[in-house]
Copies of this chain bind each other. A is one copy, B any other.
Amino acid sequence: MRITQEGDYALRVVLYLCNLGMGEKIEAKHIAVHEKIPLRFLLKLLRKLVHGGIVRSFRGVGGGYSIAQEPKNITLKNVIEAIEGPIYVNRCLYDKDFCNLNRTGSCDVHRALNQVQSNLISDLDSITFEKIMKNEL
């Protein structure tokens, strides 16, 4: 039931860029130092955030990264999904072929987990970076 180290890094990077402000860009190496993230790993992670539309990148001399959306429109769910893909508590709930009992849909355990998962996802989606910045938790 954990987010990965990469997901954790990503949340901190997004918060950092949010605090920097919408139009402001900054080079990856500064983020790496500030957040203590290995530079290469950070670059890879930033690309996922760019693909996810959460971060903008600027190439060339004087390039860097900036936040792509207003903090009120970015949620924990958005960031975690950009990094780790779809959120699911149990693989059965994502890949129907996975259940080795072929009980998908009728399995009582998975029905219960599905409920937990729904709550978790909506919870993650309710926490925006604006709330995090303003400490409105």
Listed in ascending order, the chain A residues whose CB lies under 8 Å from chain B are 1-3, 5, 8, 11-12, 15, 35-36, 76, 80, 84, 87-92, 100-101, 107-109, 111-113, 115-116, 119-120, 123-124, 127, 131-133, 135, 137
Residues of B within 8 A of A5 (CB): 91
Q: How many copies does the complex hold?
A: 2
On whether the beta carbons of A112 and B127 are closer than 8 Å, the reply is: yes
Q: At the interface, is chain A mostly helix, strand, loop or mixed?
A: helix
Q: Is the CB of B109 within 8 A of A11?
A: yes
Q: Told that A1-B80, A76-B116 touch, could you supply 17 new A-B pairs with CB distance under 8 A?
A: A1-B1, A2-B88, A2-B91, A3-B89, A3-B90, A3-B113, A12-B109, A15-B109, A76-B112, A76-B113, A108-B132, A108-B135, A109-B132, A112-B132, A116-B120, A116-B124, A119-B120
